[in-house]
Structure 1
């Protein structure tokens, strides 16, 4: 277990991260979620990460609400990531200990967390599966 206590996000994160833009439609986002089986995508504007969009954000646009009429399905799929993304998001840096990442995931019920470097550029993403892999590695070593 000592190995896990010393491990950092940078050691277990996925470095090649697929991103979306604010202009990505819900239709395209849905296809990406199906193809990649990811929990969320960072939202990129140029070199900056301006938010995240998760499966939950996607599903929220289809939730029934008694205070509004439900638009047609095609209208909902034409909406963009900008309409549903979470602009204020939790992130870690590559040196963040996995114990801290795990605590953030548990406290905020997150499935994955973007990893930003010292210049606030996307360095990777760390998911629950990465934490589980680190725990398995620790148990073996």
Structure 2
């Protein structure tokens, strides 16, 4: 466990990250979720990460209550990621210890966390599977 406590996000993160634009439609997003089997994507506006969009964000737009009119399915799929993304998101830097990353995931019930460098540029993403891989690797010594 000592090796795990010393390990950082930068050692175990996925460095090649698929992102989406604010203008990506929900239909395109659904296809990406199906094809990639990812839980979330960072949302970019140029070089800036301006939010994240998760499967939960996608599903929220289909949750209705009795006081709300139900739009057509095709109308919902025509909406943009900018309409449903989470603009205020948790991120870590490559030097963040994995123990801290794990605690953030547990506390906030997150499956993936973007990794941004000091200039706030996206350099990776760390997922639960990466944490599990790190735990197994550190346990083997």
State the TM-score bracket (shorter-chain normalisation): over 0.9
Once the two structures are TM-superposed, the CA of residue 28 in structure 1 deviates from its matched residue by 0.2
1:66 Cα offset (Å): 2.0
SS at match of 2:5: helix
Cross-structure match for 1:11: 11
Matched, 1:44 2:44: yes
Q: Is the aligned partner of 1:106 residue 2:106?
A: yes
Q: What's the counterpart of residue 126 of structure 1?
A: 126
Aligned to 1:90, what secondary structure does the other structure show?
coil
- The gaps in structure 1 that reach 5 residues or longer are none
Distance 1:65 1:48 in 2: 35
Separation in 2, partners of 1:127, 1:65:
32
- State the secondary structure of the residue aligned to 1:100: helix
Alignment coverage as a number of residue pairs: 141
Once residues 66 and 125 of structure 2 are traced to their aligned partners in structure 1, the CA distance between those partners, rounded to angstroms, is 36
Which of structure 1's runs of 4+ aligned residues deviate more than 6 A? Answer: none
Using the alignment, how far apart are the partners of 1:48 and 1:94 within structure 2? 17
Superposition CA RMSD, Å: 0.5
TM-score (norm 2): 0.99
**TM-score, normalization by structure 1:** 0.99
